[in-house]
Amino acid sequence: MSSEQILDIIRQITDALIYLEQQGIVHRDLKPENILYSIKEEGKIEIKLNDFGIAKYCRQSQDIEVQGTFPYISPECFCERKCSFSADMWSLGVIWFELVFEKHPFKSRDMREYAQHCFNDSLVLVEELDILNKQQSLISNLLQTESI
């Protein structure tokens, strides 16, 4: 997949998340399986979000029952049991990382190990791949835990 296609997919997902945020909704289960796509006549990929079964209406960070799919769930959800729009942005960062690097950013067997990686490991972004430095920076920014 080209850098341009990846950026277009991420832009469409971001637009959908911004719309949800404006409506006061946190998806809470953003993962590849919940992203539908179709290819239009001109070859353009059209993205739609799916499965709002555990989506939550919330205008600000609030205490919630931890739900979501490991390894896309944000550390704020499983460590602090709070959920906000940043949880969906974390998931977007994981998905973006996977699209660019074709692997998950944190290798872990379970939630405990995942939490340790999220908080203690820095992302290693491969310089050799044909991607824009801006993408690397944006992915890193989405996968920050300092504010958690």
pTM of the model as a whole: 0.77
Considering the domain boundaries, does residue 148 fall inside one?
no
pLDDT, tens digit (0-9, with 9 covering 90-100), for 16-51: 999 999 998 989 899 999 999 999 888 889 999 999
Q: What are phi and psi of 100, to 5 degrees?
A: -80, -50
Tokens 């993408």 — which residue? 135
Considering the domain boundaries, does residue 66 fall inside one?
yes
Asked if residue 111 has pLDDT above 90, the reply is no
- What CATH number is attached to the domain comprising 65? 1.10.510.10
> Active site residue: 8, 15, 29, 110, which one?
29
C-alpha separations of 99 from 9, 52, 112, 113, 116 in Å: 10, 22, 25, 23, 23
Asked if residue 147 has pLDDT above 50, the reply is no
- Enclosing domain of residue 29: 3-140
Considering the domain boundaries, does residue 60 fall inside one?
yes
Considering the domain boundaries, does residue 147 fall inside one?
no
| Number of domains, the chain | 1
Q: Is residue 29 flagged as an active site residue?
A: yes
